Amino acid sequence: MKEFRVLSPTAILGYGFPAASFEEGMRRKPHAIAVDAGSTDPGPYYLGSGKSFTDRGAVKRDLEFMLVAAIEAGIPLIIGSAGGAGADSHLEWNVDIVKEIAQEKGLSFTAAVISSQIDASLPLAAGGETLSLQQMYPAPMPTKEDIENSTNIVAQMGEKPFIDALDMGAQVIIAGRTYDPSVFAAPAIRAGFDRGLALHMGKILECAAIASTPGSGSDCMFGTLREDHFELDTLNPARKCTTTSVSAHTLYEKSDPTKLPGPGGILDLRDCTFEQASESSVIVRGSRFAPDEGQSFVKLEGAKLVGYRTVSFAATCDPIMIGKMDSIVTSVKEKVASNFEGKISGYFLDFKLYGANGASFYTTNGEQSVATPAEVAIIIEAVAKTTADADTICSFARSTLLHFGYEGRKSTAGNLAFPFSPSDFSGGAVYAFSVYCLMPHDDDNTELFQPKIVHVKDGGWSV
């Protein structure tokens, strides 16, 4: 039977995996190793700042296994959303790690590096208009200023640039922002397998062993694609794929489990069936891909700088104060504003009250009891145009709250317990998502996502 086997070592490059699982995966002779390295989940900071949310040492550890095994087996190694957010600085960071491993191990291979960085001029048509962009509700349509002020904008590529890179002879592909399933689906689609099944298999493989039970983001998963179905299997005897664990993963982080829009079309899972094939493996059938009718789009993601953050940690155990927290916080904010009137403006000051809905956006709950908590932890957060201003606002809010004479106070020596000296911490630059929309793009347009071929000989790189 004709089949295409893909090894997914870990949920995110740098999250790790047991060596035994990886070796078992290689024993099953995969046709490709693929890994997703990114996500928008950790928030806008990483895209905005160009820094990785995964650790360099952890990424190098994972990549060493994959690179050595792929070269030895003569199969492709495909990395998508390199460096976490997929901007050029993330891509360079990841390429640098691959270079280092190639040098240390004396490896020889052909690599492709695919950028997904978008110049702000691209989404801005002539005259600075953004007319060709399409909104992705509930994300707002980006304004001209949002686009121009973004420190990084990336476009999310699909399978085509990977297929191109493989056609150009690349064995190792390091790509910028990528639709998660594409790194797994691309080599299979290129080999002639069904796009719907390949993408659905990729959608599950991208989180590796999270789709098994007990789930883990730090273990391998193995996918086998055949003519009319695919099979998912664990590589660690402690984990099993079950129809529940695999079908449940289809829901994960998606708004509608039956229709998943991506580059070039929609993955339609309405008629999917899940069948237990062995004790540890599940067979999935019925996944279909419906190509876009008319214009295709790519998703753009961008982030912009909004200021600099300083925070202070403290807590209170005083029931009188805890009972009046809301009015105390309001008064402290007023005192800060009046003290710096005409001096510091446009800052953001917030008090996160842990023990009193510090983490919950939603408090409505039929049976919720509203007992006064014994302790409330307080994070004072100031974000301002400069670190100096953020320090000033945070420090003043902290000292004001420490000695604030609220009505009914008995504890007059100080309102706060501080765990640390110094009490305040600089959080550095703060970013916000600024672009999240669709831009017209056709697969035959090679302006974006052009693979750059690099020849690596005994660890040395040449373009």
Partner 1 sequence: MYKLIDQVDVVRSKNSGPYELTFDIMFKDKGHFDAFVDKQVMTEAVFAQLYGINVDMVKSVISFAPSKAVKITIVRPMASGDLGEKDIYGAQQHSPLLGFTYTL
The correct pick among 79, 153, 383, 439 for binding partner 1 (CB under 8 A) is 383
Per the DSSP assignment, residues forming a β-bridge with 80 are 36
Instruction: Provide, rounded to whole angstroms, the least separation between the CB of residue 221 and partner 1.
Output: 18
Q: Which residues contact 320 (CB under 8 A, 6 or more apart)?
A: 406, 408, 409, 410, 411
The correct pick among 23, 28, 29, 41 for binding partner 1 (CB under 8 A) is 41
Stretch touching partner 1 by CB under 8 A, among 24-32, 113-121, 187-195, 431-439: 431-439
Contact in structure between 408 and 324 (CB atoms under 8 Å): yes
Q: Count of alpha carbons within 13 Å of 15, Cβ hemisphere only?
A: 22
Q: Please identify, using beta-carbon distances, which residue of 194 and 301 lies nearer to partner 1.
A: 301
Q: Residue 189 and residue 48: Cα distance in Å, rounded?
A: 33
The correct pick among 57, 74, 138, 419 for binding partner 1 (CB under 8 A) is 138
Instruction: Provide, rounded to whole angstroms, the least separation between the CB of residue 444 and partner 1.
Output: 27
Task: Calculate ∠ Cα 433-434-439, nearest 5°.
Answer: 115
Contact in structure between 240 and 212 (CB atoms under 8 Å): yes
Q: Residue 383 and residue 189: Cα distance in Å, rounded?
A: 47
Stretch touching partner 1 by CB under 8 A, among 183-191, 204-212, 239-247, 405-413: 239-247
412 binds partner 1 (CB under 8 A): no
Taking the alpha carbons of 318, 322, 328, 330 in that order, is the dihedral positive or negative?
Answer: positive
Instruction: Provide, rounded to whole angstroms, the least separation between the CB of residue 23 and partner 1.
Output: 32
Q: Of 401, 317, 306, nearest to 351 (Cα)?
A: 401
> Strands 451-457 and 172-175: what pairing?
unpaired
Q: Please identify, using beta-carbon distances, which residue of 21 and 247 lies nearer to partner 1.
A: 247
Contact in structure between 178 and 170 (CB atoms under 8 Å): no
Instruction: Provide, rounded to whole angstroms, the least separation between the CB of residue 82 and partner 1.
Output: 20
Instruction: Provide, rounded to whole angstroms, the least separation between the CB of residue 156 and partner 1.
Output: 11
Instruction: Provide, rounded to whole angstroms, the least separation between the CB of residue 273 and partner 1.
Output: 7
427 binds partner 1 (CB under 8 A): no
Stretch touching partner 1 by CB under 8 A, among 43-51, 146-154, 191-199, 316-324: 43-51
432 binds partner 1 (CB under 8 A): yes
Question: Which H or E run includes 428?
Answer: strand 424-440
The correct pick among 65, 222, 433, 449 for binding partner 1 (CB under 8 A) is 433
Q: Which residues contact 90 (CB under 8 A, 6 or more apart)?
A: 38, 46, 50, 51, 52, 82, 83, 84, 176
Instruction: Provide, rounded to whole angstroms, the least separation between the CB of residue 287 and partner 1.
Output: 12
125 binds partner 1 (CB under 8 A): no
3-state secondary structure 51-94: CCCCCHHHHHHHHHHHHHHHHHHCCCEEEECCCCCCCHHHHHHH
The correct pick among 3, 18, 31, 42 for binding partner 1 (CB under 8 A) is 42
Buried b (16+ CB within 10 A) or exposed e, 349-385: bebebebbeeeeeeeeeeeeeeeebeebbbbbbbbbe
251 binds partner 1 (CB under 8 A): yes
Instruction: Provide, rounded to whole angstroms, the least separation between the CB of residue 249 and partner 1.
Output: 9
326 binds partner 1 (CB under 8 A): no
Q: Which of residues 338-367 bind partner 1 (CB under 8 A)?
A: 348, 350, 352, 358-367
Stretch touching partner 1 by CB under 8 A, among 125-133, 142-150, 190-198, 251-259: 251-259
Q: How many residues bind partner 1 (CB under 8 A)?
A: 46
DSSP summary character for residue 142: P
Residue ranges that bind partner 1, judged by CB under 8 A: 40-45, 136, 138-139, 243-244, 247-248, 250-258, 272-274, 306, 348, 350, 352, 358-368, 383, 430-433, 436
